[in-house]
Structure 1
Amino acid sequence: MPGSENPHDHEIIIIGAGIVGISIAAFLAEAGHQVLVIDRTGICEETSSGNAAALAFSDILPLASKGVLAKMPGWLLDPLGPLTIRPSYLPKLVPWLYRFWRASGASAQANSLRAQAMMMQLAETEMLSLMQRAGLSSMLREDGSLELYESEAELKAAQPGWDAREKVGIAYWHIRGRELAEYQPGLSPRFVVGSFVPDWKTVSDPKLLGQALWAYAERAGARFTKGDVKGLAASDGSSVIRLADGRALSAGKLIIAAGAWSHQLAQQCGDIIPLETERGYNTTLPAGSFDLRRQLIFSGHGFVMTPLESGIRVGGAVEFGGLRLPPKYARAEAMLKKAGTFLPGLQTGGGRQWMGYRPSLPDSLPAIGKAKDLPNVFYAFGHGHLGLTQSAATGRLIRDLVSGQTPAIDLTPFNPQRF
């Protein structure tokens, strides 16, 4: 059994019990590895608990694109719009924005799109298989998604993205007029056309899914301890994790999957990785607030609506403001107000507001691979909006690396040192 003669406290320690860390733990435990997961709050309690519940396997377009750059000046003038930067945070963000601009070039964007398409193919296969092995297929919803536009011109501007999806085999079709009401009754007539993706999937509740996957990993032998990691000391042969309560834990292999905080830990391992935080907001309305048939995507306004087991989640948008500035829940309120006009019958009262930190790299690709100078330290972070979607694929890839096997896909585009 791997790790049976391990001289350290633990064979493998994973820092981070979000959906990515949980999935890695499941894959490693299945393979017989001894795994300890550390998190400061608990299992799937932070960013992974409040996402939009989408398994967005067709979402292969990088955020860095000419279309997004063209829209950014207008968005930035609206502090409650789809994308904004807190003025006090702008000086710190400039280096990341420069890399983001570089990633929007035609060649760089094409490379990111190819890598993302490859990653998504693996993500779909591995997530559906993992959910089946864990007995969680009943939490999967296969209702498709409907992306909505207020004019034919808006659709025309989005068409290159649909063409790119079509080239890699992603099915979709446009619907108009009365047919829109068949896909989603109660829509405002301001929406004249929609794009339907039949293979788009969601889950009944992302937090409950994460906790259920953890229960599966735990049955396979994974263990959890609550702890706030304050420091790392890593070498070629071992890693020592220092916790705020004074404990020190050693491991033969260390995996950093701490989401938006991961770059701080990677820096202690000698790697400078340009991770930024897209702060996302949402409101979860009570069940029965509206008869929402499937996930609706309002791309021109930067948010989505998702039917969950517990209600309706209205959220999205991007705010760059780092990890320390207080939330600005007026952004959640603005999205909810729009949702009420887009679906006039929506009951907008009684909701729960939330804000989470999406870990984002400039080219929209995660960092998956080894630390530069420490072969026993592995990185698995930077998935942006796609942590849930790509979690099982990341678990598979980290298992491959830890086990010394050839990774399921070429990891060159995801190299943590690519910047």
Structure 2
Amino acid sequence: MASVNSVNVDGKQNNSEVIIIGAGIVGIAAAAVLSEAGHSVLVVDRTGICEETSSGNAAALAFSEVLPLASKGVMKKVPGWLMDPLGPFAIRPSYLLKLLPWLYRFWRASSPSALRNSTVVQGQMMQLAEREMLALAERAGVTDMIHHEGNLELYESEAELQAAMPGWEAKKQAGIDYTVVRGAELAALQPGLSPRFVVGCFVPKWKNVSDPKLYGKALWAYAEKLGSRYQQGIVTKIAHMQGGAEVTLADGSKLQCKKLIVAAGAWSHHLSAQLGDAVPLETERGYNTTLPVGAYDIRRQLTFPGHAFVITPLTTGVRVGGAVELGGLTLPPNYARSEAMLKKAKQFLPQMNIEGGRQWMGYRPSTPDTLPVIGYSSASKDIVYAFGHGHLGLTQSAATARLVTQLLNHETTALPVSAFSPKRF
């Protein structure tokens, strides 16, 4: 495809066939797949390649996570979320008023029919996500960065396991294999666990990447080899124009393109609103601490559903993190959440060394129904959205890249994208 490419100098306009706003894992994957398809791609981001939320996640390719965040009776839990700032799911009281419209939609998404629909759609998305990610990793030459040790989900009583079984049955119906483990089998999967954990569910086909930041940068190296380019800049405005779109940066310079993808994570709804698409996007603020290499011999990802955090072995250390805090983009971090998870990790694995860790907070872009926003803008089919993946950006990035490439090429998509439409709200 023909395109005009130039370097932005002295505030003059710069033209590229496809501009992607956002250099997180979704934008990186889209750049790779679009470049493979022959597009000329420019990625614009305010900080760098895989430097923000995509750099600090739990490194999970969570293809088995088909259940929505909303659940039956979810709104009854809100008072508890307000009262416990260190709990697994917390709401900053000062943010509650602003959050109410999102919480209302979150409640609507917890109805039985909505949950069934979201689970089915998420299951289809995950099947595509697994195929596309493994294929992209193969083409990019980074398969050695994907680990296949599985995930061990841990419970402190048989009653806790039984309460979780409806979710496991839903996963089984979606084709996800798991095994219930106890005793010596449980101890072999992760030596050194506290005896408080009496049973677990092991998902053997669960995968993790060696380090999410390094993995994202490796995929970018592949995209760059194919011709993708990067420009640092803060995007303040986007607009449809004849034959494409225009992007305005904070320094006043403008970029023009034939096609535009908005993949700016938790900031994306500010841009979509400029095109007439009011998307209820909220920010799940996630916290973690990455301990030094050798902090403990973690054999595979360990998930503690009763406490809403995970422990993940990385090539660069041991990451302890997760949980959800709804608090928007501007409130200061509450790193006491990281410290609380770390103290629990020490209780759960008494021999773990929790000294010398690196704290982090990131902004997960979350929709009320847990499904991402993938589809055309109201303004033009030259502008496509690719955001709102919540906890699952890394997991669903390659599938999203395939879908947005097909949308921009006006091809039949690998999945019907109506369920992901920005207009569904």
Q: TM-score, normalised by structure 2?
A: 0.96
| Amino acid in the other structure paired with 1:386 | L
**Matched residues in 2 for 1:47 and 1:126: separation?**
22
| Amino acid in the other structure paired with 1:237 | G
**Matched residues in 1 for 2:339 and 2:36: separation?**
43
Long gaps (5+) in structure 1: none
**Matched residues in 1 for 2:74 and 2:179: separation?**
23
Counterpart position of 1:82: 88
Shift of 1:232: 1.7
- From 214, 218, 232, the equivalent of 2:238 is 232
SS at match of 1:292: coil
| Amino acid in the other structure paired with 2:314 | L
**Matched residues in 2 for 1:120 and 1:352: separation?**
31
- From 90, 93, 99, the equivalent of 1:93 is 99
User: Does the Cα contact within 8 Å between 1:13 and 1:37 map onto a contact in 2?
Assistant: yes
Q: Does 1:317 align with 2:323?
A: yes
Shift of 1:4: 6.9
Counterpart position of 2:9: none
Q: Does 1:120 align with 2:126?
A: yes
Shift of 1:70: 5.3
SS at match of 2:120: helix
SS at match of 2:422: coil
Q: Aligned in 2, Cα 1:387/1:176: closer, same or farther, shift over 3 Å? A: same
Root-mean-square deviation (CA), in Å?
A: 1.5
User: Does the Cα contact within 8 Å between 2:82 and 2:93 map onto a contact in 1?
Assistant: no
Cα deviation per residue 1:60-101 (whole Å; 9 max; x = unaligned)?
000011165555543442110101111110000000000000
User: Does the Cα contact within 8 Å between 1:39 and 1:225 map onto a contact in 2?
Assistant: yes
| Amino acid in the other structure paired with 1:147 | E
**Matched residues in 1 for 2:309 and 2:154: separation?**
11
Counterpart position of 2:62: 56
SS at match of 1:88: helix
Shift of 1:295: 0.2
Q: Aligned in 2, Cα 1:295/1:373: closer, same or farther, shift over 3 Å? A: same
User: Does the Cα contact within 8 Å between 2:291 and 2:318 map onto a contact in 1?
Assistant: yes
**Matched residues in 2 for 1:8 and 1:255: separation?**
16
**Matched residues in 1 for 2:5 and 2:346: separation?**
60
**Matched residues in 2 for 1:88 and 1:241: separation?**
34
Counterpart position of 1:184: 190
Report 1:343-382 matches (<5 A): 343-382=349-388
**Matched residues in 2 for 1:171 and 1:224: separation?**
40
- From 218, 221, 240, the equivalent of 2:224 is 218
**Matched residues in 1 for 2:155 and 2:188: separation?**
16
User: Does the Cα contact within 8 Å between 1:236 and 1:375 map onto a contact in 2?
Assistant: no
SS at match of 2:385: strand
Q: Aligned in 2, Cα 1:296/1:70: closer, same or farther, shift over 3 Å? A: farther
Cα deviation per residue 1:341-392 (whole Å; 9 max; x = unaligned)?
0000010000000000000000000000000131211000000000000000
**Matched residues in 2 for 1:127 and 1:9: separation?**
30
Cα deviation per residue 1:258-282 (whole Å; 9 max; x = unaligned)?
0000000001111100000000000
Counterpart position of 1:140: 146
Greater displacement, 232-241 / 115-124: 232-241
**Matched residues in 2 for 1:196 and 1:284: separation?**
24
Counterpart position of 2:424: 418
Q: Aligned in 2, Cα 1:337/1:410: closer, same or farther, shift over 3 Å? A: same
Counterpart position of 1:307: 313
Shift of 1:169: 1.1
Number of equivalenced pairs: 419
Q: TM-score, normalised by structure 1?
A: 0.98
Counterpart position of 1:35: 41
SS at match of 2:311: strand
Q: Does 1:258 align with 2:239?
A: no
- From 400, 403, 410, the equivalent of 1:397 is 403
**Matched residues in 2 for 1:232 and 1:359: separation?**
19
Counterpart position of 1:298: 304
Counterpart position of 1:105: 111
**Matched residues in 1 for 2:48 and 2:343: separation?**
32
**Matched residues in 1 for 2:380 and 2:4: separation?**
22
| Amino acid in the other structure paired with 1:213 | L
**Matched residues in 1 for 2:186 and 2:5: separation?**
61
**Matched residues in 2 for 1:346 and 1:68: separation?**
34
User: Does the Cα contact within 8 Å between 2:82 and 2:92 map onto a contact in 1?
Assistant: no
Shift of 1:230: 1.3
| Amino acid in the other structure paired with 1:77 | M
Long gaps (5+) in structure 2: 7-12
| Amino acid in the other structure paired with 1:364 | T
Counterpart position of 1:15: 21
| Amino acid in the other structure paired with 1:185 | P
**Matched residues in 2 for 1:327 and 1:87: separation?**
14
Counterpart position of 1:65: 71
Identity of aligned residues (%): 65
